[in-house]
Structure formats: structure tokens, C-alpha cells
Amino acid sequence: MNFISDPVAFIADLLAKLLFRIGLSQIQVTVVSEFIGAFLLGVFGFSLVIFTIWLERKLYGRIQDRIGPNRVGPWGIFQTFPDMIKIFTKEYITPVGADKIVYNLAPILSVSAVLLTWAVIPFAPTIVGTDLNVGVIYLMAVGSIGALGIILAGWSSNNKYSLIGAFRAVAQVVSYEVPMILALLIPVLLGQSMGVNSLVYAQKVWFIFLAPVAAFIFFTSCMAETGRAPFDLLEAESEIVAGYQTEYSGLKFGMFYVGEFLHAFTISALVATLFLGGWRGPWAQQVPILGVAWFFMKTFLVYFVVVLIRISMPRLRIDQMLNFNWKFLTPLALVMLIVTAFVEKGFLLISPDLGLTDSALPWVRAGVHLFSNLVVVLITIQILKSHRIKAVRVVAKPRPVAVAPEPPASVIS
Amino acid sequence: MQSDWLFIGLFVLIVALFPGVPILLAGLIGPHKLSLTKSQTYECGLETVGDTWVQFRVQYYIFALTFLVFDVELVFLFPWAVAFGQLTMFGLLSGVIFILILFIELLAAWRKGVLEWA
């Protein structure tokens, strides 16, 4: 355990020894060190937002052929701090007739639900908040609290636009949880564990190669969960002002903003952990600090894609969004789950007879799964194509045209 | 094991304080110049007509119900997926039949027109 290869465990060890010296009991030492760990994790999550807000604004600017923030600090990297100070000194305006308790609870809930996710994400083999053995269920449970924050905010604001935003949240955020959980089942099935860290250990070959369709479904439904650009119906500014956050001002609005940016980064971390091998990379197991580097490299790669999609896609209509979820993603995820189960079971039965070496086995398994995924994708494309033709025919029907009425005969003669 | 949940407990506390305390502080720092006009509900600049908490479109409710059916049943699949390596063929098939029931449920809802946004 040396300082350079694994600083977090080293410092934690040192701290525990120090606390023992002071004369605390075993339980007290555990409580204090866990408290410090939890506090640092929270601070880390929060300060990450400051960076991601800048990154996203910069990317947004560059893609729209602007420079983006460039005044405060090098490349405008400290732009978020003046913004924070500004939003900190704003007045709170609570609308008349708002449900006070719920109204104030909602922004706190929407941030803390997202931050809670970070408790189980492993940054490196040893650097993890806590390695719960039901980590995936914890992720699901915490993920659905975020939707609750949005619904509470919309309901309590005493504003019709907010209420519409909340209803859309019910339809969207809640609906997209179904394919998300179904897609989450596939890594659990392949890794045969619910602990997030042990799922990373199980990825000798990244799960994106074993289950690309599941990765796609998970990524898309997570994007919808964040309620950002292609799926930003809950705060569609051209339709319902600002949706659920219309009546919020000052830092209460700021917290929704923070929650949204943090959520976008959190889903990137989740995709990186569950499908891109998390901290896995050369020498990550020997030198845990390297695992952190691999993890953040993958996370930022996914985050870049998330931002890119946000910038380049137009908003969906609500019926399109729901159709995409219930008639495409959910059946596809169900089919994928059945196919993966059969392929995996078949491979488990056959693999002892094949006489493969330990190093070749995961790759053969990945190849088999990849092939089955490709077959499903091809069939799906065929089905989609046949439906597309029908849809075009429906659109091409002649529409009724307004025709000027015949002038009465008496006028002509 | 217990210390895992201790961490979660402490983390819940901290995570609630992180947004909560700045919101309180900002409330102390910020100005307090409330007026009746300012605290009116914002709706297109016109005065609000009628009650906000009215009857809403039933479609939202139906989607939430469909979600509920799925979500409750999906949780039962997790133990099946975790124990996948030790499953017999019977175990595998019963799991698959469970998923097929979900699928039939989806198709039934589809045919009934629940999933149409009309």
C-alpha cells in the first residue's frame, strides 16, 4: 500500500491509525472515517459540476461557431464562479398559493438523488464509496427519486405550465425507466452479480462488445431520464415556458440546473462503468490511481457524446417520444433479454467441451454474443423498414383543400 | 456489510445538506423586497384564470400505471439474473416464460390502444 499507487487507501489507513491513537473505539473510528469519505465524495461530485458546466458551454459555443466563455481565467475556465456568485445573491420569489414545504423540498431532492448515485460508482478497484452487494438495485431506487423531485416541483408551483411539465415528467421520465431497467438486467445476467464493482471485475471483455444493443438502450433511456435536449419536453421553453422550473428563482433554480448537469455526467459515468469496463485498463489492478484515469477518460468520452447529441438533435414530440419508448425500446429490450439468456446458457453448456484456454474463452463468448446482437439488430431494421413504408403512405394521402363555393346561378345570368 | 449501509446513511445526510445549506444561506444573503404583483404566478403576463390543480388528461395516468406494472415485475427478474450461472434448464425456462408474460402484457396494452397518444 504505497502513497503513489493508491493514495486514497493510504490516507484512509493513516487516518484510522491516527484516530486510534487519539483513543476512539473501533466503531467511532469507522463512523468518523466513513463520514469523511462521504463528505469528500459529495464535495467531489459538487465541484465536478463547476467543471462540466464550463465544458458544456464551451462545447456548445464551439459547435455553434462561437468562442464560448473566454473571459474569466484561461479559456474561461472560471466562468462558473461569477455565475455562482450572481445566482447566490438573487431574491427568492415564491408564487402565491404554492405548497411551501414541497416547493422548497423539490430542488434539494433533485440534486441529492443524482449525487446519491455516486456512492456505488467505483473509480478504481479500491477507490469506491461503498461496494454494495445490491448496487444495481440501489442505482434503480435512487434513479427514480430524481423523477419525484421534478414531479413535486411542478405540482407545488401553483402554475399551469409547471403542472404540464410535471405531467410530462410522469409520462417521460417514468416511462423510460422500464427499458433502462431491462437493459440493466443484461449486464447483471452476464456478470452474475449485482455489485457494481464486481460487474467491473467481470468485464474481461467490455460489456459493450457482448451487449451493444443493451448499451444503446441503456444510454438512450438514461438520456431521456436526464430530460435534456432531444428529450427536454419537461422544460420545453417554446411550449411551456420552462416547465417544472418556471416559478423557481435564485439558487433554488440553480440547484435544478446543477442537478441536470450532474445527472448528465452521472449517466456517462454509469455507461462507462457498466458497459465500457469502468476503471479497467492496462495496469489498473496493480496501480489503482491509474484506474481513476481510465475511468474518467471513458466517462468524458461518453459525456462528449451526450453533449454532442444534446446540441445536434431537435426536440421530439410527446407522442413520438412515447412511441419510441413503448413500441421500440421496450420490446427490443425484452427480446434482447431473452436472446441473451438463451445464448449465455447455451454457451455455458457447450464451453467445457470446446477445450478453450482461459484467455480465449471470454473473447469467444463475446463473439457469440456479438453475433446474436447483430442478428437481432438486422431483424429489427427489417421490421422498422416495413413499418416505415406504411407510415409514408399514410402521410401521402390527399388532404382536403378549401375550394371557393360556386357562385349562385342568378349572378352569372 | 453493516458499514456499507452506514456509509449510505451518512451519505444521504450529507447529500441532503449540500444543496440545502447553500439554499438557506442564499435566502439570508439575497434581498427581500416582496410585493403582491411580483409573487403572482407567471402565465403569459396575463392574470391567472381558475384553479391550477384541475383534472388532467387521463393518458398520463395510464402511462404511469403501465409503468408500475412493469417496474414491479422487473424487480423479480434481478435475483434470476444474478443466479444465472447455477440455473437449471427449468430455471432458465421459467424466467423466460416470466419475461414472455411481460411481453404479452405489453402487446395487450398496445392492442388495447393504451400506448396511443390520442
Q: Where are the domains of chain A?
A: 1-89, 96-387
The sign of the CA dihedral B60, B64, B65, B67 is: positive
For range A292-306, the mean pLDDT: 89
Q: What's the pLDDT band for A2 if we cut at 50, 70, 90?
A: low
Q: Which of A31, A112, A136, A184 to mutate to test the interface with B (most CBs of B within 10 A)?
A: A112
By CB neighbour count within 10 A (0-12 exposed, 13-18 middle, 19+ buried), where does A404 fall? exposed
CA distance A411 to chain B (A): 46
| Amino acid (1-letter code) at residue A201 | Y
**What would the mean pLDDT of A374-385 be, rounded to a whole number?**
88
Matching residue, cell 446540441: A311
Strand partners, A122: A128
Long-range contacts, B108-114 (Cβ 8 Å, 24+): B109/A326, B109/B66, B110/A326, B110/A327, B114/B62, B114/B66
State the Cα–Cα distance between residues A257 and A227, nearest whole angstrom.
Answer: 12
Whether B49 has its CB under 8 Å from any CB of chain A: the answer is: no
Number of Cβ within 10 Å of residue A359's Cβ equals 8
Residue B87 to residue B84: CA distance in whole angstroms: 5
Distance of CA A136 to the CA centre of its chain: 14
Kindly state the percentage of chain A with pLDDT values over 90: 2
Band (A395; pLDDT cuts 50, 70, 90): low
Three-state DSSP string of B63-115: HHHHHHHHHHHHHCHHHHHHCHHHCCHHHHHHHHHHHHHHHHHHHHHHHHCCC
Angle at A262 between CA A316 and CA A87, to 5 degrees: 100
pLDDT > 70? residue A1: no
Confirm if A46 and A55 have CB atoms less than 8 A apart: no
The reply to whether B36 touches chain A by the CB within 8 Å rule is yes
Query: Is the minimum CB–CB distance between B51 and chain A shorter than 8 Å?
Result: no
Of B4, B3, B75, nearest in space to A119 by CA: B4
**Cβ atoms of A336 and A214 closer than 8 Å:** yes
Average pLDDT, chain A: 82
Question: Which pLDDT band, with edges at 50, 70 and 90, does A3 fall under?
Answer: low
Which chain B residues are within 8 Å of A140, Cβ to Cβ?
75
pLDDT per position as a tens digit, B59-91: 788 888 888 888 888 888 888 888 887 888 888
CB A126 within 8 A of CB A6: yes
Written as one letter, the residue type at B105 is E
The answer on pLDDT for B2 being more than 70 is no
Beta bridge partners of A128: A122
C-alpha closest to that of B18 among A47, A87, A139: A47
B84 — contact with chain A (CB < 8 Å)?
A: yes
Mean pLDDT of A394-398: 64
Q: How many CB pairs under 8 A join A and B?
A: 212
Are B84 and A88 inside 8 Å of each other by CB?
no
For the residues of A98-158, what is the DSSP string, one character each?
--HHHHHHHHHHHHHHHHHHTTS-BSSSS-BS---TTHHHHHHHHHHHHHHHHHHHHHHT-
Could you tell me the pLDDT band of residue A392, with boundaries at 50, 70 and 90? low
pLDDT tens-digit readout, A75-112 = 888 888 888 888 888 888 888 877 888 888 888 888 88
3-state helix, strand, coil in chain A (%, to 5): 75, 0, 25
Partners of residue B92 in chain A, C-beta under 8 Å = 341-342, 345
CA separation (Å) from A221 to A72, A276, B84? 36, 17, 25
Which helix (DSSP H) or strand (DSSP E) does residue B8 occupy? helix B2-29
CA distance A47 to A225: 22
Using a cut of 0.90, tell me whether the model's pTM lies above it. no
Kindly provide the residue ranges of all beta strands, DSSP E only, lying in A279-405, ordered along the sequence.
none
Question: All domains of chain B, ordered by start, with CATH?
Answer: 2-112 (1.20.58.1610)
Q: Which of B12, B75, B78 to mutate to test the interface with A (most CBs of A within 10 A)?
A: B78
> What pLDDT, on a 0 to 100 scale, did the predictor assign at position B86?
82
Question: Is B83 in Cβ contact with A177 (below 8 Å)?
Answer: no
Instruction: Read off the pLDDT band of A35 (50, 70, 90).
Output: confident
What integer pLDDT is reported at residue A259 of this predicted model? 86
**Per-residue pLDDT, A389:** 63
The distance of Cα A63 from the centroid of its chain, to the nearest Å, equals 22
Q: Do B27 and A92 touch (CB under 8 A)?
A: yes
Between residues A355 and A134, which one has the greater pLDDT? Answer: A134
pLDDT tens for A196-230 read 888 888 888 888 888 889 899 999 998 888 878 78
Instruction: List Cβ neighbours of A46 (8 Å cut-off, separation of 6 or more).
Output: A115, A258, A262, B18
Cell of A84: 455562482
pLDDT tier at A380, thresholds 50, 70, 90 = confident
Mean pLDDT calculated for residue range A339-368:
81
Cα dihedral sign, B9-B11-B16-B22: positive
ipTM: 0.86
What dihedral do alpha carbons B107, A213, A259, A296 form, nearest 10°? 170
Q: Kindly state the cell numbers that stand for A52.
A: 462540466
Q: Is the pLDDT at A411 greater than 70, yes or no?
A: no
Pairwise CA distance, residues A334 & A179, whole Å: 8
Listing DSSP states for B20-41 in one string gives HHHHHHHHHHS-----TTTTS-
Contact (Cβ atoms closer than 8 angstroms) between residue B75 and residue A137: yes
Q: What is the pLDDT of residue B88?
A: 82
In contact, A19 and A28? CB cutoff 8 Å:
yes
Q: Average pLDDT of A296-307?
A: 90
C-alpha of B44 from chain center: 29
Most confident of A36-40, A284-288, A382-386: A382-386
